[in-house]
Structure 1
Amino acid sequence: MGKQKLFLILNGKKSGDPDVRAAVKHLRKEGHTVDVRITYEEDDTERFTAEALKAPCDAIVIAGGDGSINQMANALIKLDAPPETRLGIIPMGTANDFATGLGIPDDPWEALQLATHKTANPVDVGLVNGKAFLNVATGGFGTEVTVQTDDDLKDKMGGAAYLFTGIAKFSSIASKTASIKGKVSATVERPDKSYAISTGPDKHKPKDEDGKKLKPLAEGSTATAEGDLLILAVGNGKQAGGGVLLCPDAVLDDGLLDVSYVMNISKEDFPALVKGLGNLKDTGELTDSFGTMRVTELEVHCPEGLQINCDGEPMRDTKFTFSVLKKRLMVHMPEPKLLRRSSKELKHGEKAFHKKIAHTAKRPFKHREGFWQKDTVQTPLKYSAAIGVGVALTLGAQRLAARRSSLGLSRFKFW
């Protein structure tokens, strides 16, 4: 593809990362041009994006998490960037759901190499009340967990921080009265159906031939749902919240949004919800409370106000209007054919890309941490070890006191 001119916008919190510095230095040695800008204030991403569009450059690369990618997407849409604008991503956030859903390597050098090859492919951009999102917009309980998760905990534990916060907040789960309305669409490539919650006289009817109580929705029909909304996910991408497949059938370039929702669920069903979240349609669990839609437009009303999280960026309102901009941006990814495959197969795309660049670029030496050396593993282990030692000491002291009492001793003498 020849020597490339990259414009790298780096999240200020990650500016000192040694792997990013080494990757930039190595690409420059290969003859590529890499201009670096560090974000410090909220508007920096838009300002630097405008600079990159004027430069011009071959690709704009954003280094950060889902929130940074969201800021970049909004900047590109607001600045009316040409559809052929190429976007590269270096995953450096807590969960990196969007990058993971594309199979983008989390190694800075490998991610930067993507932007120097012919790997850019068009993806859709979702809109909610005029705000852009590339991955998933979530509302309800999962959103509250994301907003309330401590930044320090996210730095130490990565995506697992959302799980710990969710467990801590589980007892305070509350739903909100809301309505959802959208026109059902489908594609030839994806014959799987949309399903509505079984309500009214159909609620207790026998399961259909597929063993489901979900009611299939006809193509072109207007799907509606009303009740106590617990979880809402509107997906351009598949996963959110650190790897939970909230919209497992979503595809980034089909011009449609996949909607999953949990509504009118009883407290007794919460354990089943946690167990099957992300796989409810396949397991057949909670079919009286779970529904899906595939739409080009969607309206959500919540009179008491609903918190929506767009790629990690929160917004709150009583009405939300969703739409989609078809194939609006070009994003570098290892294997576009895998967009229509399960997330488990994305690793094959990464491996294929590794083989491809092995013949064109010599990788600089990099010490890779072993699994047990990673912070996301070390931190929980340290906490567990500390708790274990405390429990052992407590039990030991109790046994020692019991033993001393049985011997009729008031205290031990060592001489």
Structure 2
Amino acid sequence: MARLILNGKSAQLPAVREAIFARRAAGDTLEVRVTWEAGDAARLAQEAARDGVERVIAGGGDGTVNEVVNGLMRVARERRPALGLLPLGSANDFATSLGLPLAAEPALAAALELPARPVDVPRLDDWHFLNMATAGFGAEITSSTPKGLKRLLGGGAYSLIGAVKAWHITHYAGRLRWPEGERRVELCLLAIGNGRQSGGGHPLTPQATLDDGRLDVLILHDIGSLTQLRAMRHELETRPARGTHVDTLRVDRLTFTADEPVPLTLDGEPDRRRGFTVSIEPAALSLAMPPDCPLLSRPA
């Protein structure tokens, strides 16, 4: 038995309703629960686990997926249902990275039928995420992009807002610590990836995998001129471990202590904190995905 937790804003979409009726007609046992307000998706995910549901499907954008994941992570590991995705957001970064279909009916079929593989689940302080956490400039863009523009332009909305703000980049001073070291930084973007892309298709951590027990970290820092911006773009292509404007790390734990509150996003959901610690729980959740998914370090 599977249960679809559907974002209330998508419940009346004709394509979604047709997909649900088509899967039921094909013989799938599929229950539907619709959210009304913040917190509903997490609560409904926990209820599904208590009811013995074998697979929970998150129907919505990256934020809906994030809330369902947090609900499932409150359930004992041995009782957690597998997770499937019905991507209905404006960017759908995580579903795209997984190689899942984006049209409603094939996406729902995939969520019901694809095999579920164990994946790691990162945690930022008290909140879990599956794809990526960003802090600084990238998070500022995501949180300030109007929802109407997101729906109109999709992932391109983030690029447009980013271009408008490109010459008003704020640097956030603080200290990064990880098991092998620490350093003082003036960062404009910190990306902590379990998945690979964020902000409407930007590959911030292109080598990340979901099952290696590690976090891929991108640090962009000290960018204040056009020349430095060009140098940063070149370093983004070459990905040095330590560059003039771009650093990369692969760790299982990272702490950032900032001098002032920093904007951040968890799977696209905005927040603001003075500091935080990110850790990772290996193989904590089973996720429906293609056997040849590029985010797996080990083939099915």
Identity of aligned residues (%): 36
Q: Is the 8 A contact 2:235 2:245 kept in 1?
A: no
Q: Deviations over 1:114-153 (max 9, x none)?
A: 2332511111101111210100100111111111000000
**Residue of 300, 305, 310 corresponding to 2:266:** 310
**Relative to structure 1, is the Cα distance of residues 22 and 81 closer, same or farther in structure 2, using a 3 angstrom cutoff?**
farther
Q: Deviations over 1:128-181 (max 9, x none)?
A: 112101001001111111110000000111110001111111221110111111
CA distance in 1, matches of 2:296, 2:288: 16
Q: Is the 8 A contact 1:280 1:290 kept in 2?
A: no
**Relative to structure 1, is the Cα distance of residues 334 and 147 closer, same or farther in structure 2, using a 3 angstrom cutoff?**
same
Q: What residue number does 1:54 align with?
A: 50
CA drift of 1:336 comes to: 4.5
CA drift of 1:335 comes to: 2.3
Q: What residue number does 1:412 align with?
A: none
1:35 aligns to 2:28 (yes or no)? no
**Residue of 225, 246, 269 corresponding to 2:183:** 225
Q: Is the 8 A contact 1:124 1:253 kept in 2?
A: yes
Q: How does 1:323-402 map to 2 (within 5 A)?
A: 323-336=279-292, 338-340=294-296
Secondary structure, counterpart of 1:82 in structure 2: helix
**Relative to structure 1, is the Cα distance of residues 169 and 179 closer, same or farther in structure 2, using a 3 angstrom cutoff?**
same
CA drift of 1:270 comes to: 4.7
Secondary structure, counterpart of 2:239 in structure 1: helix
Secondary structure, counterpart of 2:195 in structure 1: coil
**Residue of 244, 248, 271 corresponding to 2:206:** 248
Q: What residue number does 2:63 align with?
A: 67
Q: Is the 8 A contact 1:121 1:336 kept in 2?
A: no
CA drift of 1:280 comes to: 4.4
Q: Deviations over 1:256-285 (max 9, x none)?
A: 101110122332335416745853417x9x
**Residue of 70, 80, 87 corresponding to 2:76:** 80
Identify which range, 132-141 or 111-120, moves more after superposition: 111-120
Please identify the structure whose Cα radius of gyration is greater. 1
CA distance in 2, matches of 1:161, 1:25: 33
CA distance in 2, matches of 1:61, 1:337: 18
1:116 aligns to 2:112 (yes or no)? yes
CA distance in 2, matches of 1:113, 1:337: 17
**Residue of 122, 130, 142 corresponding to 1:134:** 130
Structure 1 residue identity aligned to 2:273: D
Secondary structure, counterpart of 1:79 in structure 2: coil
Q: Is the 8 A contact 2:252 2:280 kept in 1?
A: yes
CA distance in 1, matches of 2:209, 2:187: 25
Q: What residue number does 1:103 align with?
A: 99
Q: What residue number does 2:150 align with?
A: 154
CA distance in 1, matches of 2:80, 2:71: 15
CA distance in 1, matches of 2:293, 2:87: 21
Secondary structure, counterpart of 1:294 in structure 2: strand
Q: Is the 8 A contact 2:80 2:285 kept in 1?
A: yes
CA drift of 1:239 comes to: 0.8
* Residue segments in structure 2 that go unaligned for 5+ positions in a row: none
**Relative to structure 1, is the Cα distance of residues 340 and 150 closer, same or farther in structure 2, using a 3 angstrom cutoff?**
same
CA drift of 1:42 comes to: 0.6
Secondary structure, counterpart of 1:266 in structure 2: coil
Q: What residue number does 1:7 align with?
A: 3
Number of corresponding residues:
298
As a proportion of its length, which structure holds more helix? 1
CA distance in 1, matches of 2:263, 2:231: 20
CA distance in 2, matches of 1:269, 1:223: 30
**Relative to structure 1, is the Cα distance of residues 83 and 303 closer, same or farther in structure 2, using a 3 angstrom cutoff?**
farther
* Residue segments in structure 1 that go unaligned for 5+ positions in a row: 184-221, 342-348, 350-415
**Relative to structure 1, is the Cα distance of residues 35 and 101 closer, same or farther in structure 2, using a 3 angstrom cutoff?**
same
Give the TM-score, by structure 2 length. 0.93
Q: What residue number does 1:267 align with?
A: 225
Structure 2 residue identity aligned to 1:294: R
CA distance in 1, matches of 2:226, 2:103: 43
Q: Deviations over 1:286-345 (max 9, x none)?
A: 92121111111111010212112110112222221110010101111112553247xxxx
Q: Is the 8 A contact 1:83 1:329 kept in 2?
A: no
CA drift of 1:113 comes to: 1.5
Structure 2 residue identity aligned to 1:248: P
Q: Is the 8 A contact 2:77 2:284 kept in 1?
A: no
Structure 2 residue identity aligned to 1:279: E
CA drift of 1:104 comes to: 1.0
**Residue of 255, 263, 278 corresponding to 1:322:** 278
CA distance in 2, matches of 1:279, 1:78: 39
Q: Is the 8 A contact 2:61 2:92 kept in 1?
A: yes
CA distance in 2, matches of 1:12, 1:298: 35
